[in-house]
Amino acid sequence: MQRVGFMLKVKPEHVAEYKRHHENVWPEMQAALSRAGWHNYSLFIRPDGLVFGYVEVVETFEQAIANMGREPINEKWQEFMAPFFEGVPGTHADQMMETLEPYFYLA
């Protein structure tokens, strides 16, 4: 199991709506994440739109991203959420995740 922290940036003017959409993530998307090996997945957000994500994946994070890329619902979700994010136009959030270096863990 690999623990991964990552960051993304939501446009500040879209933070409230972005959070509302995550109150009811599509069941098909949740099932796809589970099938793709995503566990203990959490998102945290600052008022300015900085998102910190934490996930535990069965394989590597790169493999977990690739697994999701094979899930048809992922493309629909990524397209739906794309307008909320800062970054390169035409690039989905799952391709803009900036991973963080883990350096301490207390069990």
- Max CA distance (Å), the chain: 40
How distant, in Å, are the alpha carbons of 7, 31, 44, 48, 102 from that of 59?
Answer: 20, 17, 23, 32, 16
Whether 22 sits among the annotated catalytic residues: the reply is yes
Q: Of 14, 21, 22, 92, which residue is the catalytic one?
A: 22
- Catalytically active residues are 22
